[in-house]
Structure 1
Amino acid sequence: MPQDDTPRSPAPPDDPDTRRLALVMHAAFFVLLGASLIRFLLRHPGEPRTPWIIGLSVTLAALHVLLYVVRPARHGDGTAASHPRLRLAVVLLVWALLVVLAPSFAWCAVPLFYIALRTLPTRTALALVTLLTGVVVTAQLQLSTGGLDPTIVLGTPAVAAVAAATFVHMQRQAARQRTLIDDLLRTRRELAATERREGTLAERQRLSMEIHDTLAQGLSSQQMLLQAADRIWDADPATARRHVRTATSIAERNLAEARRFVHDLAPADLAEAGARGGGLEEALRTVAAREDARFRVDGTAPAAPLPDRVQSALLRIAQGALANVREHAHASATALTLTYLDDQVVLDIADDGRGFDTHTLPGPTGVRGHGLPAMRARVQQLGGTLAVESAPGEGTVLSAAIPLAIPLEPTP
């Protein structure tokens, strides 16, 4: 049997199994102590040692009650009764005196095995159990009147060995279970921390995309309009004021968008379309009209409305793509097309602007800046794809396709 000097780690005092085992051991101790005292008084009445036997028996019972029943789990307050080894030493000393005066009290050692195995390091506890077993065997041989009894010499150590081995095995199994529980709790805490970190990163990504597609694009448009107004203020005040009013309108919409995406609500255009009884198509038509773009719907919309996150993603993609057209493409015509297919919905944004060389730009689809990567991230989270076709001087076509049966979990 493996041995070590690790101190015992008893189960928590509130464990029902531990309480029941302790109750059985206390009861066994008092039964054996009482039986030994009664046996002595019946066989040796009126002897000079009788008062000593009675006094030591009462003292041993009182110590056991005080040290192991009344305050079994108090430790570290600096008193003698708070140290497990000292408590056990006091009880064993009184018990040893009793055994010297009356060998029949040796059987009281059996419950003391439990105390030793529960409070001492394994190696020390087994050594003490061996010593106590030897005392029990010696005392029983003194009481034996039929000569050498093999059942006492061999049976008693065998029973003690089985009891000790069983108890140590149970203690180690309990320790392994507590270690496993601690590992599981630690793993659960680590998983919770990981989920919080992932949630934080996802929220940061969401906010970065929202800020780019709404506030950043709006501020860029305002800057362009105000710069244009400043250049022509003296030459054409009416047009300059019109630019300022347009910039003011964009600022108002940006404010509404900021309030909504902070609370993770639908885009303002989508919310306004929903309030009027419309949906994604009306919201896209509003955005297209604002940017002087044509809007067209092909195919038949599914009976069930598109999920909110699909509608929000398509609207954000349309807003970002039209902002890119306005700022970079210098296009004379732009068209938005929403197409419903059997298994997916497709949004195409096409312009006749100056275009760009997708092969010279980083990314699998030649994405640049932050706008196109943000669009691609939105589409991939819904299990879709984003394609960009362009060439210098030949305009650009951006196509976002999202399956109608979107995955339950966002695609990483």
Structure 2
Amino acid sequence: MTRPLAEAPRTPHDPDARWLARVMHLAFFLLLGASLVRFLLRHDWEDRSPWIIALTGALASLYLLGPVLGTRAAPRRIAWLCTVVTVWVVLVVLAPSFAWCAVPLFYTGLRTLPPRAALGLVTVLTAFVVFAQVQLSHGGWDPNLIVAPPAVAAIATAVFVHAERQAARQRALIEDLLRTRRELAATERREGTLAERQRLSMEIHDTLAQGLSSQQMLLQAADRTWDSDPATARRHVRTAESIAERNLAEARRFVHDLAPADLAGGGGLEEALRGLATRESAVFRVDGTAVPLPDRVQSALLRIAQGALANIREHAAARSAALTLTYLDDQVVLDVADDGSGFDPAAHRPQDGVRGHGLPAMRVRAQQLGGTLTVESTPGEGTVLSASIPLAPTTEAGP
């Protein structure tokens, strides 16, 4: 169902509306001036002439007040419109040639009044135009004098109503687009927040949480050996202190969103992995010809290595572990192997306590760089974790 004209919000500041209003105002004054000139040229000076000149000036002055009163159907605007129409009706009765000033008045009435009142005004104005045309014909019968004014009024009203409804639909569409854009922006902000939370959770798990876990294990071991083997206990405490120092550096870099602490020294990924392997008593080797890696790739591979070695330390009960960084033609591969207890990857679920958050976080890191992470393991026979990152530029994939 088409919305009534009165329900369509009018925007006086719309450029098209201002342009149409200026055209109608200019047309009114042209028609009013032409009607006065026509009357003075075709009639000798008579008793009604001063009244017609005075009413013409009054009507022009009244019409100039219209833009000051706005376009809304306020009481003073309606009173102004009634006064303008009344003066025009008197002019038409005295001089029928002023009848065609009705067309701009159609527009003014349709902009100001509710639909039914506006249509009633158009009907009244049209009737006076017909009356004026009949008067100008001096009693001669011409069907066009009866049909033409209503036809012009109908066309003018239909065009105006159609334009207003089109404008209302466009405004509604613009409002829908703005609302959709706001909702999209809110969704993007929520997604960005969730992505940042996931990133921070992975960073904390792979660094701070693993470091705190190591400190706890070392301090527990120091407590057990404090009386029987003080030297070993003090060594455990010193190791826990060094881990706490690295965790502090990592925490500070989280605040500034910088690279992992092990990469901050400028030695690159190989040196960082070598230092990590030394701290975790693992073997490290490099295969292939080294090539420069983007910072994000270096950071991701280091985090994956940290998470994998933490899992080995906490869950695998392994006697040895090895890190291997391999440079291939189109990708770089990090392998982390251990000879520990192993597990069944097919039965592994992220919510399980064993290797709970580590593997999903490692997989997400690899996928975000267009890579893959695979795990090969058998209960009692150790585990091999392999992360492959393409060297060619790729579109960043989602988790």
TM-score, normalised via structure 1 length? 0.89
- Pick one of 176, 183, 188 that aligns with 2:176: 183
Secondary structure (helix, strand or coil) at the match of 1:282 reads helix
- CA shift in 2, pair 1:310/1:365, >3 Å: farther
- 1:309-328 alignment runs, 5 A limit: 309-328=296-315
Alpha-carbon distance between aligned partners in 2 of 1:20 and 1:102, rounded to the nearest angstrom:
31
Structure 1 moving runs of 4+ over 6 Å: 364-367
2:384 pairs with 1:397: yes
- 1:256-335 alignment runs, 5 A limit: 256-272=249-265, 274=266, 278-302=267-291, 305-335=292-322
* Aligned residues of 2:315 and 2:354 also touching (Cα < 8 A): no
| Structure 2 runs not aligned, ≥5 long | none
* Aligned residues of 2:311 and 2:355 also touching (Cα < 8 A): no
Alpha-carbon distance between aligned partners in 1 of 2:247 and 2:114, rounded to the nearest angstrom:
71
Aligned CA RMSD, in angstroms, stands at 2.6
2:129 pairs with 1:136: yes
- Pick one of 323, 338, 343 that aligns with 1:356: 343
Alpha-carbon distance between aligned partners in 2 of 1:123 and 1:146, rounded to the nearest angstrom:
33
2:6 corresponding residue in structure 1: 6
Identity of aligned residues (%): 73
1:377 counterpart letter in structure 2: V
- Pick one of 80, 100, 107 that aligns with 1:87: 80
Q: After superposing the two structures, state which structure 1 stretch, 340-349 or 192-201, moved more.
A: 340-349
Alpha-carbon distance between aligned partners in 2 of 1:411 and 1:2, rounded to the nearest angstrom:
45
* Aligned residues of 1:346 and 1:400 also touching (Cα < 8 A): yes
2:281 counterpart letter in structure 1: D
1:379 corresponding residue in structure 2: 366
Secondary structure (helix, strand or coil) at the match of 1:185 reads helix
2:52 corresponding residue in structure 1: 53
1:72 corresponding residue in structure 2: 70
- 1:116-135 alignment runs, 5 A limit: 116-135=109-128
- Pick one of 346, 365, 369 that aligns with 2:356: 369
Q: After superposing the two structures, state which structure 1 stretch, 360-369 or 150-159, moved more.
A: 360-369
Alpha-carbon distance between aligned partners in 1 of 2:193 and 2:161, rounded to the nearest angstrom:
48
The number of aligned residues is 399
Secondary structure (helix, strand or coil) at the match of 1:400 reads strand
1:63 counterpart letter in structure 2: L
Query: 1:268 Cα deviation (Å)?
Result: 0.8
2:199 pairs with 1:200: no
Secondary structure (helix, strand or coil) at the match of 1:336 reads strand
2:200 counterpart letter in structure 1: L
- Pick one of 190, 214, 222 that aligns with 1:221: 214
2:260 counterpart letter in structure 1: P
* Aligned residues of 1:266 and 1:312 also touching (Cα < 8 A): yes
| Structure 1 runs not aligned, ≥5 long | none
2:70 counterpart letter in structure 1: P
* Aligned residues of 1:104 and 1:143 also touching (Cα < 8 A): yes
1:253 corresponding residue in structure 2: 246
2:216 counterpart letter in structure 1: Q
Query: 1:7 Cα deviation (Å)?
Result: 4.1
Q: 1:198-227, CA deviations, whole angstroms, 9 ceiling, x for partnerless residues?
A: 100000000000010011000011111111
Query: 1:13 Cα deviation (Å)?
Result: 2.3
Alpha-carbon distance between aligned partners in 1 of 2:351 and 2:96, rounded to the nearest angstrom:
91
* Aligned residues of 1:26 and 1:111 also touching (Cα < 8 A): yes
Query: 1:228 Cα deviation (Å)?
Result: 1.1
Q: 1:301-339, CA deviations, whole angstroms, 9 ceiling, x for partnerless residues?
A: 34xx22221111110010111111112222111100111
Alpha-carbon distance between aligned partners in 2 of 1:3 and 1:407, rounded to the nearest angstrom:
51
Alpha-carbon distance between aligned partners in 1 of 2:346 and 2:17, rounded to the nearest angstrom:
73
Query: 1:120 Cα deviation (Å)?
Result: 3.0
* Aligned residues of 2:342 and 2:379 also touching (Cα < 8 A): yes
Alpha-carbon distance between aligned partners in 1 of 2:219 and 2:350, rounded to the nearest angstrom:
34
* Aligned residues of 2:350 and 2:356 also touching (Cα < 8 A): no
Alpha-carbon distance between aligned partners in 1 of 2:159 and 2:277, rounded to the nearest angstrom:
81
Query: 1:258 Cα deviation (Å)?
Result: 1.0
* Aligned residues of 1:335 and 1:349 also touching (Cα < 8 A): yes
Query: 1:37 Cα deviation (Å)?
Result: 2.8
Alpha-carbon distance between aligned partners in 1 of 2:79 and 2:13, rounded to the nearest angstrom:
20
2:9 counterpart letter in structure 1: S
* Aligned residues of 2:370 and 2:396 also touching (Cα < 8 A): no
2:337 pairs with 1:344: no
